[in-house]
């Protein structure tokens, strides 16, 4: 899906450049390709962010978490849960704002494309944000399971029963 959206952006932008540069009148007015490419890129970016969330490929600084997991696995797992909860809080606020913008902009025309409204663009953004929330909830479940196993492991480093 994301590849298709980005391919569409490339095609739309290329057509726009060719029609303007070569002054090809046979295609008629192609002013709609620029906003179409822009809005496709916006929606594609959020879909790509959802894929990155699914694959855990977002940029992160893992130094502290990696060190904590080696020394105190349960503390590292708890930090991972805290990061996921903060991410979910951010996504919830972003999704709430997006839903408000979908509702208020559903009939708001945007330049260059008569059939596409601001609400349609925000709906695409909302789909990407919803996918990110769902993937983060899955990662939260996995992190809770990891924390549970780290707390229940009698041989975990830093366990008081081990004498550390």
Higher pLDDT, residue 59 or 29: 59
pTM of the model: 0.78
Higher local confidence (pLDDT), 9 or 159 = 9
DSSP assignment of 24-63 = --TT---TTHHHHHHHHHHHHHHHHHHHHHHHT-S----H
So what's the pLDDT on residue 164? 39
Predicted pLDDT of residue 154: 54
pLDDT mean across residues, the chain: 84
pLDDT greater than 70 at residue 108: yes
Average pLDDT over residues 69-94: 91
Nearest of 75, 91, 101, 97 to residue 132 by alpha carbon: 91
Residue found under tokens 């391919």 = 7
Determine the Cα–Cα distance for residues 47 and 49; give it in Å rounded to an integer. 5
Element housing 114 (H / E): strand 113-117
How long a stretch of residues is the chain? 164
């Amino acid at each position: 899906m994301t590849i298709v959206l980005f391919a569409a952006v490339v095609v739309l932008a290329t057509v726009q450049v060719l029609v303007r540069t070569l002054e090809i009148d046979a295609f008629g007015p192609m002013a709609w390709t620029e906003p179409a490419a822009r809005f496709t890129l916006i929606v594609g970016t959020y879909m790509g962010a959802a894929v990155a969330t699914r694959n855990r490929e977002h940029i992160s600084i893992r130094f502290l978490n990696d060190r904590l997991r080696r020394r105190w696995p349960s503390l590292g797992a708890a930090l991972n849960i805290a990061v996921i909860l903060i991410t979910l809080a951010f996504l919830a606020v972003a999704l709430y704002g997006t839903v408000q913008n979908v509702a208020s902009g559903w009939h708001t025309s945007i330049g260059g494309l008569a059939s596409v409204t601001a609400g349609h663009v925000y709906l695409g953004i909302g789909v990407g944000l919803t996918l990110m929330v769902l993937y983060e909830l899955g990662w939260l479940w996995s992190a809770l399971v990891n924390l549970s196993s780290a707390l229940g492991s009698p041989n975990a480093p830093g366990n008081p029963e081990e004498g550390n």
